[in-house]
Amino acid sequence: MSQKLKRSGTSARKVAVRQGTARKMQAARATTGSVLDRVMAWLPFSEAQLHRIFLVAILGSAGALLWLVAVLAGVPAIAAHRVAALASAAGFEVRRVEVRGTHHLNELKVYERVLAQRDQAMPQVDLAAVRDNLLQLSWVEDARVSRQLPDTLVIDIVERKAHAVLRRGDQLILIDATGHLLEPIGPARVRGRMILSGDGVEEQVQALAHLLDAAPALRPQVAAAEWVGNRRWNLTFKTAQVLYLPEGDDAAPSALMSFARLDGTNRLLGGKVAAFDMRSPDRIYMRIPGRADDAAKAATNAAAAKAKAKAAAKEAN
């Protein structure tokens, strides 16, 4: 009869491997624990505080997720509509509009822009949209819209300032210092303001102001300015005399300063000269009304006298 031998359950090799693995895991835990201990020592928080921070972060993430789900479901819109309905029922809706700061702007144009807000619940009024709508008005440089509970919208307007008059053909238009068009006017409303003309002159208003800064004593004397050929200026003074300036950002101010010095010493403005041409460097040409006619008449008389003398000499021979 044969007999089977039964091997022991665990060999010595397996036991050694398990013991080695256990030692490695214990060493790893000790190393990780020491690293975490050092990191914790660096942080300005206690272990309890860190637990609270992690708890708040988890709760915040959960709250954000719930809010996203609510938004996708339309809950905030429904709630906002309900709040607006309750506010309206309590008398918090737009009944009056108060406009401040208008001097030249017609207030009716402001009311027209805000009319759509009448009878709306106060929470539903989009203040930024109302402001953007008001900024489209030509006279409005800035606007502030606010609620005055329970039932009033307050509109504070900052108006643009009229600076000059733009001439377009037979039309006169008020403009501000940036060239922004304000409104058409009649000749009676010019009120001594400078009149600007020429293609594209509304884009050169600030450049003209910079030019006139070169000779501030002449600025009050300038009645009109013409932008010629999109390159240079003709200035008309209140004496109806015209100054032709050269083109160029440096040449034009230099010529204007030279003219101001000449006027200061020789009193050119108000004299007989009708036009001063300074387009040629270092020269000024002056045109006196009637001088050309007088010269032509003198030339004609001289020619007639010469012809008469020649005829008399021929008869004598």
pLDDT digits (tens, 9 = 90+) for 162-208: 999 999 999 999 999 999 999 999 999 998 899 999 999 999 999 99
Is the same domain home to 101 and 179?
Answer: no
Residue 304: inside a domain, yes or no? no
Is the same domain home to 108 and 86?
Answer: no
Is the same domain home to 56 and 140?
Answer: no
Residue 32: inside a domain, yes or no? no
In the chain, the number of structural domains is 3
Is the same domain home to 84 and 101?
Answer: no
The token duo for 212 is 């006139």
Residue 27: inside a domain, yes or no? no
Cis ω before 281 (30° cut-off from 0): no
Is the same domain home to 129 and 212?
Answer: no
Is the same domain home to 140 and 114?
Answer: yes
Is the same domain home to 173 and 276?
Answer: yes
Is the same domain home to 231 and 145?
Answer: no
For residues 168 and 75, give the distance between their C-alpha atoms in angstroms, rounded to a whole number.
57
Is the same domain home to 151 and 260?
Answer: no
Residue 194: inside a domain, yes or no? yes
For the whole model, what pTM was predicted? 0.63
Is the same domain home to 178 and 275?
Answer: yes
Q: Residue 186 belongs to a domain with what CATH number? A: 3.40.50.11690
Residue 155 near residue 98, CB atoms below 8 Å: yes
Q: Which domain holds residue 67?
A: 47-90
Residue 201: inside a domain, yes or no? yes
pLDDT score of 221: 96
Kindly write down the DSSP assignment for every residue of 47-74, as one continuous string. HHHHHHHHHHHHHHHHHHHHHHHHHHTT
**Span 99-143, pLDDT tens digits:** 999 999 999 999 988 887 777 888 788 899 999 999 999 999 999
User: Tens of pLDDT along the chain (317 residues)?
Assistant: 444 444 445 566 666 656 666 665 555 555 545 555 565 566 565 667 666 776 777 777 766 776 666 556 554 545 444 444 444 444 458 788 899 999 999 999 999 888 877 778 887 888 999 999 999 999 999 999 998 888 889 999 999 999 999 999 999 999 999 999 999 999 999 988 999 999 999 999 999 999 999 999 999 999 999 999 999 999 999 999 999 999 999 999 999 999 999 999 999 999 999 999 999 988 899 999 865 555 455 556 656 666 666 666 666 66
Is the same domain home to 111 and 151?
Answer: yes
Is the same domain home to 107 and 191?
Answer: no
pLDDT score of 165: 98
Residue 205: inside a domain, yes or no? yes
Backbone angles phi, psi at 315, to 5 degrees: -70, -35
Q: Residue 121 belongs to a domain with what CATH number? A: 3.10.20.310
Residue after which a domain boundary falls, among 159, 175, 202: 159
